[in-house]
Amino acid sequence: MMFVRTFIFFLGVLATVFLGWAALVGVPDAMISEVKPPPGLQRYTDEQLFGRSIYIREVWIRSGSFLGSPLGPRRFCL
C-alpha cells in the first residue's frame, strides 16, 4: 500500500511538471513549426552574426537599457 501511494505521488509530481512544459513550451513550438518564413527573408550576414555574438556575450539583453559599455570596438575581437 505504501509503495502504491509513493508511486502515485511521484507520478503526480512528474505529471505536473510535464503538463507545464507541454503547455508553455511544447504547444507553442508545435504551432510555430507550421509557420513558413515570408518570401525574401535573408539569413544574417557575417557582420550581423558578429554583432549578435557580442550582444549575447556581453549579456546586453539585460544591461542595454541601463548602462552603455565604455569599451572600444577593438576590445570585442573574438
Partner 1 sequence: MPRRKKSDIAVSHQEFHHKDTPAARADEELRISIDDSARTPTMFYFVSAVAWLLIGSLFGVMTSLKFNLPDWLGGSALWTFGRIRPAHLNTIMYGWASLAGAGMIVWLTARLCRAPLQLGWLHYLAAIFWNAGVLAGTVAIFTGYSQGLEWLEFPTFAGALIATGFLLFAASIVQTFRKRNVEHLYVSLWYIMASLLWFPFLYVVANLGIYQGVVQAAMNWWYGHNALATWFTPIGLAGAYYFIPKVIGRPIYSYYLGLLGFWAFALFYNWNGIHHLVGGPLPTWLVTISIVASVMMVVPVMAVAVNHHLTTVNHFRMLRYSPTLRFVVVGSMCYTAVSFQGSLEAIRSFQEVAHFTHYTVGHAHLGVYGFLSMILFGAMYYIVPRLAKWEWPYPRLIKVHFWSASIGILLYVVALTIGGWLQGLAMNDPATPFIEVVNLTKPYLWARSIGGTLMLIGHCVFAYQFFLVIKRAGPRRFAPALFREPAPLKASREGGTTS
**Does residue 48 interact with partner 1 by CB under 8 A?**
no
Site size for partner 1, by CB under 8 A? 36
**Does residue 49 interact with partner 1 by CB under 8 A?**
no
- Which string of DSSP letters, residue by residue, matches 3-25? HHHHHHHHHHHHHHHHHHHIIII
Q: Which three cell numbers stand for residue 47?
A: 557582420
Contact 78, 53 (CB under 8 A): yes
Residues near partner 1 (CB under 8 A) are 2, 6, 9-10, 12-14, 16-18, 20-21, 23-25, 27-29, 31-32, 55-63, 65-67, 69-71, 75
